[in-house]
Copies of this chain bind each other. A is one copy, B any other.
Amino acid sequence: MPEHEMQPAFVLVRPQMGENIGAAARAMWNFGLERMRLVSPRDGWPNPRAVAMASGAGRLLDQAELCETLDAAIGDLTHVLATTARPRDLTREVLTPEQAMQRMRGIIADGGRPGILFGPERAGLENADIAAADALVSVPVNPRFGSLNLAQSVLLLAYEWGRLSDLAPPAQRGEGAQQDVLGRASKAEIKALSEHYEEELEQAGFFFPPDKAASMRLNLRAMWGRLPLSSADVRMLHGMLRQLVRRKG
């Protein structure tokens, strides 16, 4: 099965502004999704405003499947979810984006072909559109303020797909964390640093008065031991100390 068939189709139903179609394409491609379908876009197709907005994700528009009716757009799908701002149809299950994308993964793993519907900018999906859906998806927003636009809804759903994806390599995370661990100073380096400071501070009369000296030393060692210093930090801290005490001579 080609990789793109292991993704849900994102179906924009009667989208109005070309800009929003382009922005939706960008939002999808940020998270590796590339199967867009368009049902009867208001301003016809292709749409130069969509192309201009999609820059970098234009391929999704070129490959988008254009359909006259919603039935045609979802005919080959086995499962359909419908996004809605305010779930009105209480007979239908309402999923969070996370639940929706988990379900889509399960469907695909079982050999199904899922899709998700997004309504027109102003009014959203009509009851007739929703009739074909197995369940609804709604982003839980502030009850006092919900103002997600089409491209933002697509973005959040696509983000959830990416978040749950084991396929998409979270490259940044791995590299940084690994580097952090690799660059971490050894306990021997920390000990040498701690001793260097303790020695010079002793010379400078820092551990005073005498009855507090022991606990001051302990605090200092505890601080060096607790801080996540890299080997480079340790070298810099040695160099700083050497330079600070050199002045005295």
B175 touches A87 (CB 8 A): yes
In the complex, chain B residues whose CB is within 8 Å of the CB of A152: 27, 152, 155
A window 131-151: CB within 8 A of B: 136, 138-143, 145-148
Judge if A106 is at the interface, Cβ distance under 8 Å: no
A90 and B180 contact, Cβ closer than 8 Å, known pairs A168-B140, A227-B228: yes
In the complex, chain B residues whose CB is within 8 Å of the CB of A243: 201, 204-206
B197 touches A94 (CB 8 A): no
Task: Count copies of this chain in the complex.
Answer: 2
In the complex, chain B residues whose CB is within 8 Å of the CB of A204: 243-244, 246-247
B156 touches A143 (CB 8 A): no
Q: Which residue of B lies closest to A32 (CB)?
A: B142
Number of interface residues of A (CB under 8 A): 76
A residues neighboring B (CB under 8 Å): 26-27, 29-32, 56-57, 86-87, 90-96, 98, 136, 138-143, 145-148, 152, 155-156, 159, 162-163, 166, 168-173, 175-177, 179-180, 183, 197, 200-201, 203-206, 216, 219-220, 223, 226-230, 232-233, 236, 239-241, 243-248
Sort A-B residue pairs by CB-CB distance and give the 6 closest, nearest first. A94-B176, A90-B179, A140-B170, A206-B243, A248-B248, A247-B248
